[in-house]
């Protein structure tokens, strides 16, 4: 599977900063993602993103008893670290190894523990009824086969799923017509799967954590029934 040549969707390529659809091996695609995000999140001091934890996440976990959290595509750890500070037992994964190393160094400085893996959305073992919380923040539009089913299986009953990303209208406004999630599409994935309650869902303008300007965003918090 890993060596199979795959045709990546224009959506995924655009999200990863690769402009044209082309045939890449999984390893080539992963290497491009790794290189692109190591550069943006660690090497490039001028890259504009919110180094503070995501607000939807902090609002959601406020007052909740900490448990086991999975931080998908953890980047340089801003959200994973905040959850650990709040007493959560945190596992995070990402392809960007330097970004993950940065998170681990920060955790060390603060005396916090993070479990991390260098993995992709597609290969990470999400497990069964393992997590009280899963975050998918600025990690794209969930374009992974059967991801709603995988996440449903992975969450404990009552477990939370927190998602935020750009709306398709934001992509169009940026001159990237394939970037961002189409209206309603992400929620529909989970509604079609069934077994989730929508605790919060909005498509509205807000401060984007990446780019740090006002954009139309999709905010979603689900609970597994």
Is-contact 176 129, C-beta < 8 A? Answer: no
Q: How far is the CB of 157 from ligand SAM (least distance, A)?
A: 25
Residue 89: closest CA among 78, 97, 80: 80
Q: How many helices (H) and strands (E) does the chain have?
A: 8, 9
Closer to ligand SAM by CB, 123 or 197: give it. 123
Q: Which of residues 63-92 bind ligand SAM (CB under 6 A)?
A: 73-75, 78-79
Among 13, 137, 189, 208, binds ligand SAM (CB under 6 A): 137
3-state secondary structure of 137: strand
With contacts defined by CB under 6 A, name the span among 83-91, 133-141, 147-155, 196-204 that binds ligand SAM.
Answer: 133-141
d(CA 19, CA 136): 23
Measured from the CB atom, is 27 or 197 closer to ligand SAM? Answer: 27
Query: Which distant-in-sequence residues (6+ apart) come within 8 Å of 98 by Cβ?
Result: 38, 41, 42, 43
By beta-carbon proximity to ligand SAM, the closer residue of 133 and 225 is 133
Instruction: List the beta strands (DSSP E) in the chain.
Output: 5-7, 23-25, 68-72, 89-94, 114-118, 131-137, 155-166, 196-207, 214-224
When asked if residue 99 is in the footprint of ligand SAM (CB under 6 A), the reply is yes
Q: How many chain residues interact with ligand SAM (CB under 6 A)?
A: 21
> Which one, 49 or 201, has the nearer CB to ligand SAM?
49
Q: Of 82 and 132, which CB lies nearer to ligand SAM in the complex structure?
A: 82
Q: Is 37 in the site for ligand SAM (CB under 6 A)?
A: yes
Joined tokens for residue 73: 């595509």
Binding interface with ligand SAM (CB under 6 A):
16, 33, 37, 41, 54, 73-75, 78-79, 94-96, 99, 120-121, 137-139, 209-210
């Amino acid at each position: 599977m890993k060596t199979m040549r795959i045709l990546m969707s224009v959506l995924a390529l655009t999200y990863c900063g690769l402009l044209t659809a082309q045939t890449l091996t999984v390893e080539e695609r992963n290497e491009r993602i790794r290189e692109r995000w190591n550069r943006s999140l660690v090497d490039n001091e001028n890259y504009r993103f919110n180094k503070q934890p995501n607000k939807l996440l902090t609002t959601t976990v406020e007052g909740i008893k900490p448990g086991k959290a999975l931080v998908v595509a953890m980047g340089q750890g801003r959200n994973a670290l905040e959850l650990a500070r709040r007493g959560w037992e945190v596992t995070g994964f990402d392809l960007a190894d330097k970004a993950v190393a940065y998170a681990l160094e920060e955790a060390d400085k603060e005396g916090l523990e993070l479990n991390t893996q260098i993995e992709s959305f597609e290969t990470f073992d999400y497990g069964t009824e393992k997590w009280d919380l899963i975050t998918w923040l600025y990690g794209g539009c969930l374009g992974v086969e059967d991801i709603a089913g995988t996440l449903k299986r992975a969450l404990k009953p009552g477990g939370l799923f927190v998602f935020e990303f750009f709306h398709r209208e934001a992509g169009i406004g940026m001159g990237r017509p394939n970037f961002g999630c189409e209206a309603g599409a992400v929620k529909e994935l989970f509604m079609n799967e069934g077994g989730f309650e929508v605790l919060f869902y909005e498509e509205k303008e807000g401060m984007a954590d990446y780019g740090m300007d006002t954009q139309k965003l999709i905010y979603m918090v689900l609970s597994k029934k």
